[in-house]
Amino acid sequence: MLLNVSYNNSEITRKIDKQVGKPFTLKQRFDMGGIGSPKLIITDTSVEIRNLLILDNNRNTCNVEMRPHGIIVRFRSLLETYALVIPYYKLTLYKGDSSIYAIHKDHYFIKVVSDTKAVQKFFKKILEYRADNSPTSIDDL
């Protein structure tokens, strides 16, 4: 779900909270060692997101926020802020080239540069959290 989150709209906040859960509490954030990514440089995107990013001449960057049931990828275009809301069950992470991660959800995708240890550590944290908190499958019983 790609949403414009520039303005404080209770209906959009309710949709996001329903998809990926309410934000972590301050204690949970501290215990996890943070829930936000460093600034990520975007290298490639799907058509819908690319059409938003080409409207300005700024460097295309985004950040990722972890939530209890998913992640939110936020990026800016012109003076607007957009959010790609991805529940964990629809999240697919690919490690492509040596320093590229691809975040996929249905027909949306964003490829970001992972040239620092902090970025790689954050994506590892997402995968570990998803694995620890995903519901057990019928095969596990």
pLDDT of residue 115: 87
Q: Which residue has the tokens 């003076």?
A: 79
Cross-sheet strand order for the sheet of 70-77: 2-4, 80-87, 70-77, 61-67, 40-45, 108-113, 100-105, 92-95
| Count of residues making up the chain | 141
Locate 49 and state its tokens: 């997101």
pLDDT for 138 equals: 66
Q: What is the pLDDT of residue 132?
A: 87
Give the pLDDT of the chain (141 residues) as one tens digit per residue.
899 999 999 999 999 999 999 999 999 999 999 999 999 999 999 999 999 999 888 899 999 999 999 999 999 998 899 999 999 999 999 887 778 999 999 899 999 998 889 999 999 999 999 988 877 766 655
pLDDT at 61: 92
Nearest CA among 78, 73, 91, 99 for reference residue 127: 91
Q: Say which DSSP state 107 is in.
A: T
| CB distance 81 to 4 below 8 Å | yes
pTM of the model: 0.89
CA 28 – CA 69 distance, rounded (Å): 14
The whole-number pLDDT of residue 99 equals 86
